[in-house]
Amino acid sequence: MSVKQISVFLVNKPGTLKKMTSILAQNEVDLRAISLSETKEYGIARIIVDDTFNAVNILKDADFVTSVIPVLAVEVPDEPGSLDKMLQMFADEEVNIDYMYSFIIGKDDMSAGMIFKISDVASAEPKLIAKGLKVLSQEDIAQI
């Protein structure tokens, strides 16, 4: 049930991120989540979209360098301490989190979700589901 994350390598200069988002917008690719990190010379946009295959092809045609990896998308209950409880489940199962970022799930209720990059999604996912985490699929992401 993992979700596909696209990493897009961006030259660190004005307008590069805008070029990427414009290309996606022109092709009606809907961003579900985005995280941006940078160094002096380049940046990496990590994105979750409604149609990964289409987005990768569009970006490659526009000369962007991309890679795709599986990540976990998890719904976070809207209550104090819910992220802390979720992180305890990861710790209990000895699942290391390389990085994470948030996104909005509901259009009406604005519920939240978290993207988790972990080293072994296939192994960790069933353990975390057994602990009660609501893991979202690529189909769930496409329907948000």
What is the pTM for the complete model shown?
A: 0.91
In this structure, are residues 42 and 107 in contact, taking their beta carbons and an 8 Å threshold?
no
Q: Same domain, yes or no, for 84 and 138?
A: yes
* DSSP-assigned letters across all residues of 49-112: ES-HHHHHHHHHHTT-EEEEEEEEEEEE-SSTTHHHHHHHHHHHTTPPEEEEEEEE--SSS--E
Q: Same domain, yes or no, for 8 and 44?
A: yes
Q: Is the pLDDT of residue 143 over 90?
A: no
Q: Which of 16, 47, 70 is the last residue of a domain?
A: 70
Q: Same domain, yes or no, for 77 and 101?
A: yes
Q: Same domain, yes or no, for 77 and 138?
A: yes
Q: Same domain, yes or no, for 30 and 65?
A: yes
Question: How do residues 33-67 score in pLDDT, each as one tens digit?
Answer: 999 998 888 999 999 999 999 999 999 999 999 99
Alpha carbon 135 to chain centroid, angstroms: 12
